[in-house]
Structure 1
Amino acid sequence: MNTELLLDHMTKQLRIPTIAKQYRSLAREAEERNLSYEEFLLALLEAEVQTREENQKQRRLMQASFPIQKTLNTYDFSLMPSLNRNRFITLAKGEFVEKKENIIFLGNSGTGKTHLAISLGIEMIQNGYKTKFITASALVEELLMAHEEHKIGALEKKWLKFDVIIIDELGYVPFTKMGAELLFQFFSSRYERASVIITTNLEFTEWTTVFGDEKMTAALLDRLTHRSHIHLLNGESYRFRQSMKQKEVGEG
């Protein structure tokens, strides 16, 4: 068996497909540039590591289940003066995840809460964190099903594997008493153990309309806001102002 066939066989056996694809071209480049064996080996390993890291990011991105991909660069902060762009650039570095802190976006419909939540979620994936997106109603439905099947503990363990969970649209749909209690338990299980990002159209004083019980709501807010970055998005719809701005540019 010649050298190339042996290399192909061994790279396949060792599961290093990028090296298998690139060793020939990198070998020619190393020869042309008179690189040392160590430099050639480093170039091969760097290519393999880079590909693996990119593949992992893509897997985490698919696992996150974002309904759409958004970035901080595509959010027009000039339309929402109450927000500090630099604060979001700092949050995007992921220190809040390391500190097990939460982020809460409160604001009217169309103010860009979900856009910002997804943007930070994608940044966390780029930083190597496992992230998951789910609406509050879908999460409660999943919790209720797990409760009926006596699998709530297993479900909570599954969710704790994620460093960040984005819970979208809390407050858009009221929950049953059991659903509210299970969601309270879910948040409590993550308290100071992992981060959540929440988007809601409700002021904190209105959360009892979702959770029903005032004492439970107060206890939940105490946990969620204890270690949280809270962003208020008020004023008219961000989407409306953005479309008007684009229209003005088009007419100009």
Structure 2
Amino acid sequence: MALVNTTPELLSELKLHGIREALPKRLEELHSQQWSPSEFLNVCLQDEQLHRQNVRLLRRLREAGFPIPASLENLDFTSERKLKRSQIRELGSASFVTQGQNILIAGPTGVGKTHLACALGQAACRQGFTTLFFPLNRLLEKMALARAQGRYLNLLKKLTAVSVVVCDDFGLRALTPQQLQDIYDLVDGRVESLTTIITTQLPVENWSEVLPDPVLCDAITDRIVQKAILLEMEGESYRKKRFKGGHTDPP
């Protein structure tokens, strides 16, 4: 009996928290289901495995920095948005990450581009991929600060190692020459094997308006667009609908 009473403490000391949490239930099932010792051990190990998977998932979601929780299952698939349910369902497997494909989400303001980008990023996290989310202006500020502090190469190494980087609101304003170089460094380091998800109101053919150097504009555009999956969204702004008393948030 003393051994049973100390089991939870031993499990905590060994950091087997999944087994510890499920143990009371499993001990009841041991008798009711008439498990063999090996069956009981296998179930307990599965509990621990699931617990550790959930802990890692929560860590990935937290470190990604998503501004909102989002799910592909709750997207707005009405004809107004022009999203194809079958295509989004396929993207939910995060196969685009294993294939090193970028995703370009284009459309007018307020149609749910950020929500979709977050949902895709969180789907990637659930499939085990590391992800980082940045509004583009915040990312550029972060890169400028790192450069000033002599940490630019370390930051770039981090940004070109993570499986998925989400850049929200690309093309809101023209970039400076240094910002152009920073964006080139980022996309060049991620080309071919890593996924970048970009949301933008600006059609690709108009990117030269915000990427004023023709050579860097071509280089950046080519590295983003090649192998990219284009998701074009349409419809009335959710913010305008909220103002009118309609939908409160993107589904």
Query: Normalising to structure 2: TM-score of the pair?
Result: 0.90
Mapped contact 1:175–1:210 kept (Cα < 8 A): yes
Asked whether the equivalents of residues 180 and 210 of structure 1 are also in contact (C-alpha less than 8 Å), the reply is: no
The amino acid across from 2:21 in the alignment is K
Report if the CA contact (8 A) 1:124-1:130 is conserved: yes
2:205 counterpart letter in structure 1: T
Q: How does 1:128-167 map to 2 (within 5 A)?
A: 128-167=128-167
For residue 115 of structure 2, what is the aligned residue in structure 1? 115
Describe the SS at the equivalent of 1:202.
coil
Q: Does 1:3 align with 2:40?
A: no
Q: Secondary structure at the match of 1:108?
A: coil
The one-letter code of the counterpart of 1:149 is Q
Q: Which moved more, 1:25-34 or 1:63-72?
A: 25-34
For residues 19-49 of structure 1, what are the alpha-carbon distances to aligned partners after superposition, in whole Å with 9 as ceiling and x for unaligned? 2233243123212221100111111111111
**After the TM superposition, which of the residue ranges 126-135 and 238-247 deviates more from structure 2?**
238-247
Q: How many residues get paired?
A: 247
Q: Give the corresponding residue for 1:231.
A: 231
CA distance in 1, matches of 2:242, 2:17: 45
Which residue of 1 is the match for residue 73 of structure 2? 73
**2:64 maps to which residue?**
64
* CA displacement, residues 128-161 of structure 1 (integer Å, 9 cap, x when unaligned): 1111110100111111112222322211111233
Distance 1:12 1:81, change over 3 A: closer
Q: Distance in 2 between matches of 1:47 and 1:17?
A: 9
Q: Distance in 1 between matches of 2:166 and 2:24?
A: 44
- What RMSD in Å do the two structures reach over aligned CA positions? 2.2
The corresponding residue for 1:250 is none
Describe how 1:1-252 pairs up with structure 2 within 5 A.
2-80=2-80, 82-237=82-237, 239-240=239-240, 246=246
| TM-score, length basis structure 1 | 0.89
Matched residue type, 1:37: P
Identity in percent: 28
Distance 1:28 1:195, change over 3 A: same
C-alpha separation in 1, matches of 2:219 and 2:169? 20
Which amino acid is the alignment partner of residue 209 of structure 1? E
| In 2, Cα distance between equivalents of 1:152 and 1:85 | 40
Q: Give the unaligned 5+ runs of structure 2.
A: none
The more displaced of 56-65 and 238-247 is 238-247
* Displacement after TM superposition at 1:78 (Å): 0.9
Superposed CA offset, 1:109-137 (max 9, x none): 01211111111111111111111110100
Is the contact made by 1:79 and 1:242 (CA closer than 8 Å) also made in structure 2? no
1:158-212 deviations in Å (ceiling 9; x for gaps): 1233211110001113322111211111111111131010001111122122221
- Please say which of residues 152-161 and 113-122 is displaced more in the overlay: 152-161
Task: State the SS of the aligned residue for 2:78.
Answer: helix
Q: In structure 1, give the amino acid aligned to 2:163.
A: D
Q: Any conservation in 2 of the 1:132–1:164 contact (CA below 8 Å)?
A: yes
Higher helix share: 1
| Matched letter for residue 167 of structure 2 | I
Cα distance change of structure 1 residues 72 and 28 upon mapping to structure 2, 3 Å threshold: closer
